Structure formats: C-alpha cells, structure tokens
Structure 1
Amino acid sequence: MRKAISSTDLLSKKYDLITWDGEWFDNFDAPEASGSWFISGNSGNGKTSFMLELAKALSPFGNVLFNSLEEGMSRTMQEAWKRHNVADCGRKIQLIKEKYEELRIRLKKRKSPRFIITDSWQYTGMTFEQYLSLKKEFPDKLFIWNSQMFGNKPIGQTAVRVQFDADLKIWVEGFKAFSKGRYIGKFYAEGLTIWEEGAQKYWSKTG
C-alpha cells in the first residue's frame, strides 16, 4: 500500500508547466507539460490549422512531433505547413507518420521530443490499454490526440474513453478553439481564434 499524501506534500509539490502567454494563456491557463490532451470538432472547422498553431506555441518549451497518420507528407499537409509558417520553427517541429510500436521506439531514444500531436486517434489503431501504457512508459511527455467525429461524439468507444481521461479537452468550431477540460483560462468562453476572417464569418451567422 502506498503512503497517503498529506496536505503539506500536495501543496508543496512543484509542477512542470507550459508557461505560454497571450491568447494561449487566456484560454488554456498554464497546463502541465505532460499527460494527455484531446482535440475534437467537425471537419472544416480548422482543426489541422489549430494543431499546427499549437505545435508552434509549444515549440519554445520543447521539441514537437506532428504524427500525421491521416495526411502524412501529402500536398495538403505541405500547403498547410507553408500557410502556418511551421518551417520558421526549424527542427523544433518534425513531421512523422508512425503507429504505436514505431512511435514507442522513437520516444525511447535519448532526447526524444517532449510533445506528440497525433492526427488522428482513429488512425492509430490503439487500444485503451496501449494508450494507458504509453502514458505510464513516458510520464514526462505530453500526448495530444485529434479525433474524428460523428456529430458531437468521437468515433469509437475507445476514443470516448480517451476523451474522458484527457487532462485538457479542446473543442474546435468555426475557426476557434475552446477549452472544455481541467485547464481553463479567464477568457475561455471567447475561444482562441485560429483564423480571424473565417471565425468572423462563422460566428456572425450563428450569433
């Protein structure tokens, strides 16, 4: 049986945080730099754009792997990479297309990237047990999963379980990203704008 944690132990514990600022802090506060995040939202609302901007925002705090299982090195990914000036981050952000075992091998290497963004969860073919094992094996890394959707629900029961487990849940709609998880900034209701023109058009119609 493990020793119970006292109030003193809990309140004195230090955490490794993502200390970003601006809209990122306003919407997502200063989250831990490890664990699991879950991105959801319907197609055509700016999820790929958000993930690339997220990769750029995380890059000052550690190297980022963009695991593009859906698009890989397609022309659409190349165009998105250009549009968001991802190359400005140099080798801080790298593109891969790897499933569970390949990814594990890469992450075991010395000085492997700290942040892993995967598009999408459904393309990984992972079980929930493998998901938990990945978190346990690499406790100092942050895994970020994008999910395909059927309406407002992730496709597949395993994806639903991953969403429930995630520390930060991010909903992307109308070219804005909203915090729905445990980290909420003071302006979270307004959402982080991914594309100004697209967001204005979308929300002026729905408002």
Structure 2
Amino acid sequence: MSEIKVKKAKSITDLYKQNFKTFDFKGTFRESFGEPETNGCWLIWGESGNGKTDLSLQLAKYFSTFQKVHYNTLEERGRESFKIACRRNNMEACGSRFSFESEDFETMKARLSKKRSAKIVFIDSLQYLRITEKQYKELLSTFSDVLFIFISHAKGSQPKGSVADAIRYDADVKINIKNFVANIQSRFGGNEPFIIWEEGARNAELKLT
C-alpha cells in the first residue's frame, strides 16, 4: 500500500493572507447581503405571490452593475408575466448585461461553457430545472467561478423538496420571502430584512393587525 502524501496544514496567518473575490455592495444591498463572494450559490424561497420574482430581478439588476447576468426563466418562460415583472423593475437599464432564456440543465451547461458567458446565473425555478443533488454539485464544481442563485418553491416555511433542502444547507446566502419582505441569513454579514415592495409589505402588515 502506497503512503498517502499529506500537505502541511494551513495556519491562521495563511488564511488571513488569502484574498477572496467579493462584490462591493453598497447601501441597502450591503446592509442585507453583506459583501458576498463572486461565486458559490444562494437560495431564494417563498410561497407564490410573495415577491420572489421581483426580488430576483432587483438583485439581477444590481448584479449587472458588476458582471453579466443570465436569467433562466424556466417557470415563466419569458411570457407576459415575466415581461410585466421586467418592466416593473426597469430591467432595460441593465442593457446587454442582462439576458434570459428558458433552458434545461444540459443546454444551460452548454451556454455557460461558452467564452465570455455570464458569471451570475439565476435559475427560476429549481423545481422546473428538475436536477438531482448530484447535478447541483456538478454545476458548482464545473463552473466554480460562477454565482448560482436558485429560486425555489416553498412548503410551509421551508424550501420544497430534498434537492432544495440540500442547497439550503450549502447556500452562502439564504433568503426566505414572505409578504414582500426578504429575511436573510448571509455568511458575509448584513442580514437586515430587505423590503421588496414597500406598499405590498405595508398592506400585508395591516391585514395581520
């Protein structure tokens, strides 16, 4: 049996010398999401009609000031509802830095393999992409320089399905949406609630009183 070569373990000094690529978020985005790394994965989940698409587009619009963004709109498939949501969030301001298409797992991989492909990818939704946990891990290992933001249906207060649950444990930023407010658990700081739509959040709060 050959001897296993063991590397010298890193010290705290080694760790502090490492430089990680991060987004220099400002204002309310920094207050809520911190200073996130430019790769890895996020998970957004919530019941239908609570603001998942609007938050995703608001994030996509902000991310487009840093990098190209691709939105895999499997669920709405670029229909009238998606068009309305894009207009509502003034997505034309992104110019050529925002693109969208409805495509399956293999087609999306082929797109991301192209030169100068987007480095920020929204997947709406995880349930419509129909991937396994193994395929999810394949995405992250194959495209290690990409930030994947998965949008998931919810079952009660939790993401729906075993794959979504696995991603929730893995995600660097976890975003649970209810009544047009995003409640955030970010490994990069921030963690203040993010208001998606003030009037909608205010009306929802009034209904509860």
Aligned to 2:161: 156
Q: Which structure has the greater CA radius of gyration?
A: 2
| Aligned-pair CA distance for 1:193 | 1.1
Tell me how far apart the structure 2 counterparts of residues 43 and 3 of structure 1 sit (CA, whole Å): 50
Q: Which amino acid aligns with 1:58?
A: F
Q: How does 1:20-39 map to 2 (within 5 A)?
A: 20-39=25-44
Aligned to 2:92: 87
Identity of aligned residues (%): 37
Contact 2:44-2:149 within 8 A present in 1 as well? yes
Aligned length: 204
Contact 2:123-2:149 within 8 A present in 1 as well? yes
- TM-score normalised by length of structure 2: 0.93
Q: Which amino acid aligns with 2:20?
A: Y
The residue matched to 1:51 in structure 2 has which SS? Answer: helix
Q: Which amino acid aligns with 1:6?
A: S
| Aligned-pair CA distance for 1:3 | 4.1
Residue 7 (structure 1) aligned with residue 12 (structure 2):
yes
User: In the TM superposition, what whole-angstrom CA distance separates every residue of 1:123-142 from its partner, at most 9, and x where no partner exists?
Assistant: 11111111111101111110
- TM-score normalised by length of structure 1: 0.94
Q: Which amino acid aligns with 1:83?
A: R
Q: CA RMSD in A?
A: 1.3
Tell me how far apart the structure 2 counterparts of residues 193 and 18 of structure 1 sit (CA, whole Å): 20
| Aligned-pair CA distance for 1:172 | 1.1
Tell me how far apart the structure 2 counterparts of residues 20 and 47 of structure 1 sit (CA, whole Å): 20
User: In the TM superposition, what whole-angstrom CA distance separates every residue of 1:89-141 from its partner, at most 9, and x where no partner exists?
Assistant: 11111011112111111111111101000111011111111111110111111
Unaligned 5+ segments in structure 2 are 1-5
